[in-house]
Chain A
Amino acid sequence: MSPLTKTKKVKVDIKSETSTTKNNEVVYDTKDLNLWYGETHALKDVNLSIHEKEVTAIIGPSGCGKSTYIKTLNRMVELVPSVRTTGVITYKGKNILDKSLKVEDLRTHVGMVFQKPNPFPKSIYENIAYGPKIHGIRNKKVLDEIVEKSLRGASIWDEVKDRLNENAYGLSGGQQQRLCIARCLAIEPNVILMDEPTSALDPKSTLRIEELVQELKKEYSIIIVTHNMQQAARISDKTAFFLNGEVVEYDDTNNIFTNPEDSRTEDYISGRFG
């Protein structure tokens, strides 16, 4: 049960060149991605293929570029001035680093959940309706339906259905984070990016989010950054290990945690640094 038992691994010496699970279709394909913050080279020659309707975990010590990478996938990284990128990331075949691409379009297809729950200082209802509204949906009936569906989708409906008009800040931290997930579901994205979504939550709330992720993966592709290796082991199908801006290893989660190829991966998951 505990992933730690898995990491105290049985040394199996089979090279896992060929992954065992059948791959779904590729949704994100990253080729030779390099990224600089001013002079700092934050991502170095990243190559990754992320598959549909799977949970892909990105792990690594802090400052390794994992958050930067995930924010590049919806180009939120550009909110920092002086960011420069080279290389290609295709989303469903289109290069999203192309300057002619409208980031707003990309972001309606790719939802994001942040490290700290960040509901808007508005009512629960308005939080969920925000996305549809900015995209022009004003019909009250439609909005009602979207709100209910999204809240159900994030399994928080039963907790909040009687107080939809109350301020979202009245919710607990874990509820706020599920509200943020629901907010993200409201525009029916294909991909959900999660940037350490449980790092600010207590263990119980964390567990609920993890269960939710398992549920959501049936319909959405999920990419989750986490500093919590057990979490990656519990919920993800594939895991990428980042170190100093490079992808050290990317494989089926099982392989990464039981039989890492690279000694640095092994050192990290066995807790020798981090």
Chain B
Amino acid sequence: MKYIDDIKVQKRMNSRVLKNDIVKQLFLAATLFGLVVLAVLLIRVITEGAAWIDWNFLTGKLSTAAERAGIMGAILGTSWLMLIVVPVTLFIGVGTAIYLELYAKKGKFQSFIATNISNLAGVPSIVYGLLGLTIFVRAMDFGNVVMAGGLTLSLLVLPIVIVAAQEAIRAVPQHLSEASYGMGATKWQTVKNIVLPAALPGILTGSILALSRAIGETAPLTVLGIPALLIPFPEGLFDTFTALPMQIYYWTLDSSLVEEYAYLAAATIIVLLVLLFLLNSIAIFIRNKFQQRY
């Protein structure tokens, strides 16, 4: 007596296998969907903007006349922001990571800080904008200058840098620091001379990725009241400024008034994406070139 009827099983088998094959194609299509949208987005931006990129556009001043408008001010503003974000996040991020990974005793305080950092990573960027507005722009009375923008963006991407630095430090093999301690080195000597140099590629990679997140951020800057007006180029940390994403924002909004502004926005997006692409290439280069195999 057989419980399983071979013929029935065989019949069902065909449809089961067919279903598997069909659904597999569906899953593939879903995976490709995102990539297709990416392609459409890039093509769209390039076809609209590429023709507008020329030397005058890159080096010129902002203008209400579309054909004379340039984005040098925004490029400078974004550069100034990077000049703040990089050192501030590296210093605080690496310091925090060293503390959490190498100094803090496993306990309540350490896990409190760690939980806090992962919560901060989930706070919407616009809330950081309000924090920056309240603390840096108003309470410290910086105004809507490079310093306020830079510090706000630094706080925003700090969790990324901390987590990346923690991972990089954790990846340094224990036996290297043991060797250093074995020579009579103190803890800080070991951290400074052995652990940090070995973790540096990982730290830099993470910090560049955080930087590329920071320079694409728009929402916090809108809250800080960063203008996109005919302002002079920023020359220092306490000058007002505009940045590439702000420029894109205003031109996109106003494209319903002046059609050419959409093309200017697209052209600026190309500049921003190229910048991000360069940063990411540097990060990948560092990761591949300097990653030590122990």
Contact = CB atoms under 8 A, between A and B. Distances in A.
Chains A, B in direct contact (C-beta < 8 Å):
yes
Interface of A: 74, 76, 79, 81, 104-108, 111-112, 114, 116, 118-122, 130-131, 134-135, 169, 180, 183-184, 187
Nearest to A126: B193
A121 B290 CA distance: 11
B294 A114 contact: no
Which 3 pairs across A and B sit closest by C-beta, in order of nearness? A108-B184, A112-B182, A107-B184
Interface size class on chain B is 20 to 34
B178 A118 contact: yes
Contacts of B106: 81
Contacts of A184: 182-183
Given A121-B197, A169-B292, A74 B185 contact: no
Contacts of B223: none
A120 B179 contact: yes
B291 to A, nearest CB: 10
A106 B182 CA distance: 9
A134 B175 contact: no
Interface in B170-185: 173, 175-176, 178-185
Interface string B196-215: 01100000000000000000
B183 A111 contact: yes
A121 B179 contact: no
Nearest to B106: A81
A74 B180 contact: no
Contacts of B176: 118, 120-121
Contact of B292 (A105, A108, A118, A121): A121
B178 A130 contact: no
B181 A131 contact: no
A241 to B, nearest CB: 25
B105 to A, nearest CB: 8
Contacts of B294: 121, 169
From B179, B184, B189, B193, name the one whose CB has the most chain A CB atoms within 10 angstroms. B184
Given A116-B175, A121-B292, A121-B294, A111 B182 contact: yes
A183 B293 CA distance: 20
B279 interface: no
Given A79-B178, A169-B292, A183-B179, 4 more contacts: A104-B186, A112-B182, A118-B173, A134-B183
A194 B292 CA distance: 26
Interface of B: 105-106, 173, 175-176, 178-186, 189, 193-194, 197-198, 292-294
Contacts of B189: 134
Contacts of B178: 76, 79, 112, 114, 118
Given A114-B178, A120-B179, A180-B179, A131 B292 contact: no
Nearest to B292: A121
A200 to B, nearest CB: 11
B183 A76 contact: no
Given A130-B193, A169-B293, A118 B179 contact: yes
B184 A105 contact: yes
A79 B175 CA distance: 11
Contacts of B180: 120, 130, 134
Contacts of A119: 179
B184 A135 contact: yes
B175 A118 contact: yes
Contacts of A187: 183-184
A269 B39 CA distance: 70
Contact of A104 (B179, B184, B292): B184
B193 A134 contact: yes
A74 B179 contact: no
B32 to A, nearest CB: 42
A256 B183 CA distance: 33
7 contacts: A76-B182, A107-B181, A112-B178, A118-B178, A119-B179, A120-B194, A183-B183
B171 to A, nearest CB: 12
A168 B120 CA distance: 41
A67 to B, nearest CB: 12
B292 A130 contact: no
Contacts of B185: 104, 107, 130-131, 134
Contacts of A121: 176, 197-198, 292, 294
A106 B198 CA distance: 26
A74 B182 contact: yes
